[in-house]
Amino acid sequence: MTTPIDLTKLPDYLRNQRWFAGKAWPIKSVSVVDHVSLDLPGGRAFTLAVVEVHYELGHPTRYLLPVLASDEGVQDAFEDVEVLRAFFQLIREKREVPSASGKLVGEWLDTPEGLMALPSPLPVRRLQVEQSNTSVVVAEKVILKVIRKLEAGINPEYEVGRYLATKTSFRATPTLLGALQSEGPAGATLAVVHRYVPNVADGWRYTLDHFRRAPRLTQEFLGELRGLGQRLGELHRAFGSSTDDPAFSPEPIQTEDLQRWSASMVGELGVTLNEALRQFPDLEGKREGLIEHAKRLAHVSPSGQKIRIHGDLHLGQVLRAEGDWLIFDFEGEPGRSFTQRREKYSPLRDVAGMLRSFDYAEATLQLEGQAAGERVGPARQAFLDGYRTVTRGAAFLPQDDATFNTMLDAFELEKMLYEVRYELQNRPDWVRIPVQALSKMEVRK
């Protein structure tokens, strides 16, 4: 197969795309590793191409390009409504299409949610809010996310979504309906389709709004946070259920796991403090106490199970819709490989991520100039109460409170260290938030 893409124009084209993550590095070359031509009404066609970008320094990256032939060399095919419809129908109709080095395979799940009727012609509209992917709302019933930066292997968002939709009763999430996979040397998940949930509130903004209203949270909102804890507990129960799928089967936590996690935290602590000490020299005096926190994890008796978890849970990963909470975005931490994101872990890592998010909400108010209030403690407690109510007696959690608290403490420390590194690189003005938390960590019992 020949491709109509003008490779000489691709570097300039890529640098001008919002979803292209390599703008900071000089591009050495761009090559097409797979492509397929797909027909449109009226005798037209568009090309789906997987391109590999090589830089002067660093590792190459792959991107999905839907393009139309143009006098200018490259034109984004997703500006054309017919292309969006044709792309979606690949998935809805479960089509298999040969490509230059493999094939495209559309999958539509035969679940009750997947049996919905859709009008013809399909109304489609692109969302303009995302940076790293392209999202399209179809008939106001489903949302198609086209993944622009591709990674080899099983995409956790697809894998987890498929598991929840087909093997569990957990529905407090925009349910996965289908996906488009590329098979062959350029194998990757190209797109996922979920149920579209209109009129949702972002969990981070929703919580900030309640935090801003008064120094103390209302009983009504604390009840909602208990509900959020319950939803996470229900998600973990779904992940912790017995299954014949080895990728999701719970495994007992061993002494070796605790020692490995503890050693990793001690290593991260050294790296993080070395980066932060130039700006916060007082942290040096906290080093030994923080190391002791990390080491405690290695000395608890093994208890509970490793299960699949969300992996990047915070208030920005939940939605408030029609008086209930939805948990979404199961891709995991962007800086980790697919293999790392698919690792089973203690579910308390998710709990720690959400608890840290409440601290961020309070700190955000103080950055805005508001006086400190009594919000974080009650928010944490309400969330934990809801979580413990749903998960009481669950095999995936430690059986005694002391072990539960020691492990949760360690995972909060791990999250703080990640936050310090992230803020130093991306938002230096915010780094004081996790640094202050680290400073308080030493005295927490």
Considering only the C-alpha atoms of the chain, give the largest distance between any 2 of them, rounded to a whole number of Å: 72
- What value does the mean pLDDT take over residues 123-132? 84
pLDDT attached to residue 445: 46
| Residue of 144, 405, 440 whose CA lies nearest to 282 | 440
Structural domain boundaries in the chain: 7-14+26-80, 82-195, 201-441
3-state helix, strand, coil in the chain (%, to 5): 45, 20, 35
Q: What is the pLDDT of residues 27-39, one digit of tens each?
A: 999 999 999 999 9
Q: Residue 1 pLDDT more than 70? A: no
The band of 444, judged by pLDDT with boundaries at 50, 70 and 90, is very low
The band of 2, judged by pLDDT with boundaries at 50, 70 and 90, is low
pTM over 0.75: yes
Proportion of the chain above pLDDT 90, given as a percent: 84
- Supply the DSSP string of 287-313, one letter for each residue: HHHHHHHHHHHHHSPP-SEEB---SS-
| Residue of 39, 40, 36 whose CA lies nearest to 50 | 36
- What value does the mean pLDDT take over residues 69-91? 90
Q: What is the mean pLDDT of the chain?
A: 93
For residue 382 the two structure tokens come to: 């309400």
Report which of residues 74 and 259 the model is more confident about. 259
pLDDT attached to residue 4: 61
- What value does the mean pLDDT take over residues 264-270? 97
CA 227 – CA 230 distance, rounded (Å)? 5
pLDDT attached to residue 6: 80
Choose which CATH entry (3.90.1200.10, 3.40.1110.10, 1.10.150.20, 1.20.1530.20) describes domain 201-441: 3.90.1200.10
CATH fold of the domain at 82-195: Phosphorylase Kinase; domain 1 (3.30.200)
Burial of 42: CB neighbours in 10 Å, binned 0-12, 13-18, 19+: exposed
pLDDT attached to residue 290: 95
- What value does the mean pLDDT take over residues 172-184? 97
pLDDT attached to residue 3: 58
The band of 443, judged by pLDDT with boundaries at 50, 70 and 90, is very low
Q: CB 90: neighbour CB atoms within 10 A?
A: 22
pLDDT attached to residue 130: 62
- What value does the mean pLDDT take over residues 302-320? 97
Q: What is the pLDDT of residues 200-246, one digit of tens each?
A: 999 999 999 999 999 999 999 999 999 999 999 999 999 999 889 99
